Structure 1
């Protein structure tokens, strides 16, 4: 018998009423799941999280191949790495953080009770679809939220298949039915219906600028991320050979579809020749002036960036431009003499093409790095290769970003996979990028805390709250087929004793009645 989740994956008509009706159907199921999930203890929650992470890991290669076949771009081997990194390593990074039990601060006489957001509506991009949905699903589960995902239409088929797999793994491990759902046929009107619904508690927007802005203007709380355009500065004190190797490895990783990839390489005359030689040794092809012009015209049309080039490998792009390059070329380096709106190659390029600019002085290099980010990418990421600590501080203080990667590949480093930053596929761009969050987005952003504060006076004793965390482990009700739990139309929740539970059957029944009463009130709103 199929879970209700999969029965809800039906075609959506173009009428506004039908779109709202389908949104209500899925969001009501998600609200129910979130209300039930809120009762889970941490052990049960993490069992579900680990089960889903294992499923994501086990199918990382399969979905990497399918995404490349469906989208037509990227490198399956690299997508497999990203899919794996957003599974078990992601969970392990946050394993010691407790988003379930109250935090007790005896010194300040404060108890902090975690409050999940509830229902998350999450947008995923075409460039990193499986890694992003893995990331967002696991974040939601770690914080006991329900999530409805909207895949990019270009990778819809594989995304739906992947989410169904994760949903099964979650439910088999004990998650409420409907905790993880996905839109089967996403369109802009359908997405807007979900974003504007008062049943959506928060929107996680990863995608184009227009979609992120729509999320912020929906009237619902939103966590959005802006575009990248990372400058990378190679200082005269850098290990030039290692810097070149890291930059080429980063720019060629998954054919540069990560928004954290290096976009413009800035260096100084003292190391220009040495750096070019090192880049060639690492697999880069340095374009001539005429080749750069052909490349510029190919990548940028009057209506914008040539989407056919997104995620294509360097040799394919070179062939389309009529540029003869060695078969093992990993990236194309295009020298430019200026940075600004007049130079199209100083904009973001989600393909293995790296602009190269030689500044006259270090002060000018810092100014040009800032100029790159003024074009696009404010608040996002930047990188520097140097052995001088003062250069690091000068650069980090100058560029208007919230991540500066030092002596590491920026693609992986800013996302937390070649540095000790929090691993993420949702990069907060903060005040510089007109976003609400400046750090790498993580599960901590999907849970708020109710603070219970005692009288600060020494004559008022503080209670003993240790050991009073969540302890409900089952048996939990199933999603209602019609109505709400406990109603005449809904199936009654099963009564299966759990040996691990510290709650007796009478307490469980009372808890179910409380859930039913609360949900009836919620559904009347």
Structure 2
């Protein structure tokens, strides 16, 4: 008997979505404190497996550096766990001095989750923690390039969560991998939200589902080095960021724009710190290898070290080369270097002053219409202010490595492995996604003392209402609303 993988996947997706909906009804009755205990249990257990899962990810996907993947896994299990402590997401969120409930957090229900092969472990753990923290069920699809890695990760998560008291079915995964099964899951009536990170090929299907979509986007994020910057520190930050996990972090710098008066000093600093400025022929050779003729990314050129990239393109670089630099002048549809490069490669632009650099950065940000992240290195407050105010971008990072600053590791942004990029209408938020993006807030309007109203508005009765009776009535209504939302 020959099984139809598409049909199996679609049927399995329906079963998982329906089971998740029933399981979430039980989860919705959990107080925040019980959800928090499960989150702690998951994070603590997954921390024990951070190295093992990093090695499995590198072995299966052939993307990135094992040591850096372990750091990302530990970042989620430690830093994110700490950030979630004390955060209230469900139940009463805000009360006034008299004890009246003003805001209530309500879980959305069932979330369909898609994770990238570039970070299959850290993103999966992260989404599981967020879903449990906010009282939601979550159903994952397995990336075809990271099936074994994600299955092992999710088995460990589910085991730890159920042991800590999570109802079975609240975390699950579609083990039969097929595109039609993923589409079936996303459009299933039980699913309330799609949480998609880094898998651009599924974006159209997610948007076609008609469901609210949080899209962890990608894009051509420039870094501007202005003449007043601490040059050596700026270059060190960029080199650290672009070599971290061999350049596959979504917020990592995709190109460098340099203020002309500082260009020679910046170039010298890059060379001293391990960058190699490719010759014109080498630039062409590498460009021809980065993408297929139909525009698809060549997966064998993703997340590998600079010397290997050069060798695959047909040339050699000096020993110790960490980043390949490609000198460019214009932004063009036909230039491979204007696309997101998930590798230690940096296009290099020089502009006469910060205003022209500002225009170049806007041009680069709008090229793929994603507006993900911009980084500026400067000590001029006014220049920094102008970049913050005028760029069509989800987040602006100042004097920090973008790969680390974007996820909140070196900044005060919320620590997150899903960075919203909704400026192109492809998602409902540009936030560093947190549990608060996975709930809706019910706001309560209590009556104020009788206020003067414009003529013709309000009651025509001259008698004052019984305010105490009204408050008692509203107290009862609020309690009933909260009770009904947990059924």
The whole-number CA distance in structure 1 between the counterparts of 2:97 and 2:390 is 40
Q: Mind listing any 5+ residue stretches in structure 2 that lack a counterpart?
A: 451-465
Question: What secondary structure, in the 3-state scheme, does the structure 2 residue paired with 1:224 have?
Answer: strand
Alpha-carbon deviation of 1:86? Answer: 1.3
Given that residues 207 and 426 in structure 2 are in contact (C-alpha distance below 8 angstroms), is that contact kept between their aligned partners in structure 1?
A: no
CA distance 1:324–1:142, shift in 2 (3 Å): same
State yes or no: 1:52 paired with 2:42.
yes
**How do residues 69-218 of structure 1 correspond to structure 2 at under 5 angstroms?**
69-106=59-96, 110-218=101-209
Structure 2 length as normaliser, TM-score? 0.90
Given that residues 371 and 394 in structure 2 are in contact (C-alpha distance below 8 angstroms), is that contact kept between their aligned partners in structure 1?
A: yes
Given that residues 203 and 220 in structure 1 are in contact (C-alpha distance below 8 angstroms), is that contact kept between their aligned partners in structure 2?
A: yes
Structure 1 length as normaliser, TM-score? 0.83
State yes or no: 1:460 paired with 2:450.
no
The whole-number CA distance in structure 1 between the counterparts of 2:51 and 2:167 is 28
State yes or no: 1:254 paired with 2:245.
yes
Given that residues 215 and 422 in structure 2 are in contact (C-alpha distance below 8 angstroms), is that contact kept between their aligned partners in structure 1?
A: no
Question: What secondary structure, in the 3-state scheme, does the structure 2 residue paired with 1:153 have?
Answer: coil
The whole-number CA distance in structure 1 between the counterparts of 2:126 and 2:6 is 32
The whole-number CA distance in structure 2 between the counterparts of 1:282 and 1:156 is 37
**How do residues 326-475 of structure 1 correspond to structure 2 at under 5 angstroms?**
326-376=318-368, 378-432=370-424, 434-457=426-449, 460-461=467-468, 462=471
Question: What secondary structure, in the 3-state scheme, does the structure 2 residue paired with 1:384 have?
Answer: strand
The whole-number CA distance in structure 2 between the counterparts of 1:340 and 1:369 is 14
Question: What secondary structure, in the 3-state scheme, does the structure 2 residue paired with 1:368 have?
Answer: helix
CA distance 1:26–1:225, shift in 2 (3 Å): same
Question: What secondary structure, in the 3-state scheme, does the structure 1 residue paired with 2:5 have?
Answer: coil
Given that residues 216 and 224 in structure 1 are in contact (C-alpha distance below 8 angstroms), is that contact kept between their aligned partners in structure 2?
A: no
Alpha-carbon deviation of 1:434? Answer: 3.6
Alpha-carbon deviation of 1:292? Answer: 1.4
Question: What secondary structure, in the 3-state scheme, does the structure 2 residue paired with 1:147 have?
Answer: strand
State yes or no: 1:294 paired with 2:301.
no
The whole-number CA distance in structure 2 between the counterparts of 1:96 and 1:110 is 19
The whole-number CA distance in structure 2 between the counterparts of 1:133 and 1:377 is 26
Question: What secondary structure, in the 3-state scheme, does the structure 1 residue paired with 2:45 have?
Answer: helix
The whole-number CA distance in structure 2 between the counterparts of 1:70 and 1:273 is 42
The whole-number CA distance in structure 2 between the counterparts of 1:367 and 1:397 is 13
The whole-number CA distance in structure 2 between the counterparts of 1:411 and 1:168 is 31
Given that residues 369 and 423 in structure 2 are in contact (C-alpha distance below 8 angstroms), is that contact kept between their aligned partners in structure 1?
A: no
Alpha-carbon deviation of 1:97? Answer: 1.4
Q: Is the deviation greater in 224-233 or in 19-28?
A: 19-28
Given that residues 340 and 372 in structure 1 are in contact (C-alpha distance below 8 angstroms), is that contact kept between their aligned partners in structure 2?
A: no
Q: Corresponding residue for 1:43?
A: 33
Alpha-carbon deviation of 1:12? Answer: 7.6
Q: Corresponding residue for 1:498?
A: none
Alpha-carbon deviation of 1:289? Answer: 1.9
Q: Is the deviation greater in 335-344 or in 129-138?
A: 335-344
The whole-number CA distance in structure 1 between the counterparts of 2:177 and 2:55 is 22
Alpha-carbon deviation of 1:360? Answer: 2.4
Q: Corresponding residue for 2:12?
A: 22
The whole-number CA distance in structure 2 between the counterparts of 1:242 and 1:433 is 36
Alpha-carbon deviation of 1:19? Answer: 4.1
**How do residues 306-317 of structure 1 correspond to structure 2 at under 5 angstroms?**
306-317=298-309
Q: Mind listing any 5+ residue stretches in structure 1 that lack a counterpart?
A: 1-10, 470-510, 519-525
Question: What secondary structure, in the 3-state scheme, does the structure 1 residue paired with 2:284 have?
Answer: helix
Given that residues 215 and 222 in structure 1 are in contact (C-alpha distance below 8 angstroms), is that contact kept between their aligned partners in structure 2?
A: yes
Alpha-carbon deviation of 1:377? Answer: 5.2
Question: What secondary structure, in the 3-state scheme, does the structure 2 residue paired with 1:154 have?
Answer: coil
Alpha-carbon deviation of 1:230? Answer: 0.5
The whole-number CA distance in structure 1 between the counterparts of 2:182 and 2:334 is 35
CA distance 1:382–1:70, shift in 2 (3 Å): same
Q: Corresponding residue for 1:61?
A: 51
Q: Is the deviation greater in 421-430 or in 257-266?
A: 421-430
The whole-number CA distance in structure 2 between the counterparts of 1:198 and 1:210 is 22
Alpha-carbon deviation of 1:33? Answer: 1.5
Question: What secondary structure, in the 3-state scheme, does the structure 2 residue paired with 1:115 have?
Answer: strand
Alpha-carbon deviation of 1:340? Answer: 2.6
Q: Which one of 222, 234, 249 corresponds to residue 231 of structure 1?
A: 222
CA distance 1:425–1:280, shift in 2 (3 Å): same
The whole-number CA distance in structure 2 between the counterparts of 1:260 and 1:12 is 41
Q: Is the deviation greater in 113-122 or in 322-331?
A: 322-331
